[in-house]
């Protein structure tokens, strides 16, 4: 299992335009218990990846291996 890894999940924004980018610890598709760390509405996939990289640097709650 990969419960200590950080993942980006992206889906349509249910409340309008753009995409909903979700940063989780653990991945539900791998059978992990997933903890949502933060989320953001972004305009496209490129912006979601850029946001994800920035959050990995800026957010103090994340531990790195």
Per-residue pLDDT tens for 11-20? 999 999 999 9
Higher pLDDT among residues 3 and 48, named by residue: 48
Cα(59)–Cα(17) distance, integer angstroms? 26
pLDDT tens profile 20-65: 999 988 877 777 788 888 999 999 999 999 999 999 888 766 565 5
What's the confidence (pLDDT) of residue 1? 45
Check pLDDT > 60 for residue 2.
no
Q: List Cα–Cα distances, 47 to 16, 18, 24, 51, in angstroms.
A: 17, 10, 17, 6
What's the confidence (pLDDT) of residue 65? 57
């Amino acid at each position: 299992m990969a419960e200590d890894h950080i993942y980006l999940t992206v889906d349509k924004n249910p409340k309008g335009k753009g995409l909903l980018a979700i940063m989780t610890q653990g991945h539900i598709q791998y059978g992990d218990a997933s903890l949502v760390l933060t989320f953001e509405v972004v305009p496209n996939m490129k912006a979601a990846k850029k946001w994800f990289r920035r959050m990995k640097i800026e957010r103090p709650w994340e531990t790195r291996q």
